[in-house]
Amino acid sequence: MKKIALALGLLGLTVLANAADPLNGTVWKTIDDKTKQPRAVVKFTEQKNGVLTASIQSILTPGEENACSKCEGPYHNKSLKGLTIVRGLKNVGGTKYDEGTILDPKNGKTYSLKGELTSGGKKLELRGYLGVAVLGRNQTWVRMN
């Protein structure tokens, strides 16, 4: 009986280890790093390969709902609503994330991205950068759900 209980306990730990990422399905309010005003609502989704993406669900800044006119390639003139702005973000241990990219619809540029959940998972501290993290910008997103 003890062996069965031990086996079930180990099985439970295995299931927990393979559970969805803590960001999967969460919704966040993005806060502009310069104006400190809310800009959009984004939702994270975990892909089959375990990496995370985030798409814009709604725009909170009046007059900025239109297409991504400064974006290049497949994003050019696409509606901001539904636009995937975070790609390839990976959990690199606990509450830390790295190896992603983020699209800034305001200027159409894509930056490397890393981040960390803080305040008990209520805030997401992100750093977008070109080349090295020292050359970048920080944003704090606030969890909505």
**Domain-located, residue 5:** no
pLDDT category of residue 5 using cuts at 50, 70 and 90: very low
pLDDT at 23: 95
In a domain? residue 55:
yes
Report yes or no: 23 and 52 within 8 Å, Cβ to Cβ: yes
Structure confidence at residue 9 as a pLDDT band (50, 70, 90)? very low
Contact 108, 68 (CB under 8 A): yes
- For residue 32, being part of any structural domain is answered with yes
Q: How confident is the model at residue 14 (pLDDT cuts 50, 70, 90)?
A: very low
pLDDT in tens, 53-110: 999 999 998 877 777 888 888 888 888 999 999 999 999 999 999 999 999 988 899 9
Which range of residues forms the domain containing residue 53?
21-143
At 1 the pLDDT is 54
Please report whether residue 8 resides in a domain.
no
In a domain, 14, yes or no: no
Backbone dihedral region for residue 107 (phi beyond 0: left; psi -120 to 50: alpha; all else: beta): alpha
Per the document, the length of the chain is: 145
User: Around 35, how many Cα atoms within 13 Å sit in the side-chain half-sphere?
Assistant: 7
Give the domain CATH number at 98: 2.40.128.520
- As for how many domains the chain has, the answer is 1
11 is a domain residue: no
Residue 94 lies in a domain: yes
Contact 102, 110 (CB under 8 A): yes
Instruction: Report pTM.
Output: 0.83
pLDDT at 15 over 50: no
The confidence band for 4, taking pLDDT boundaries of 50, 70 and 90, is low
Kind and range of the H or E run holding 120: none
Q: Is residue 9 part of a domain?
A: no
Q: How many CB atoms lie within 10 A of CB 98?
A: 17
Q: Which two tokens stand for residue 37?
A: 């005003």
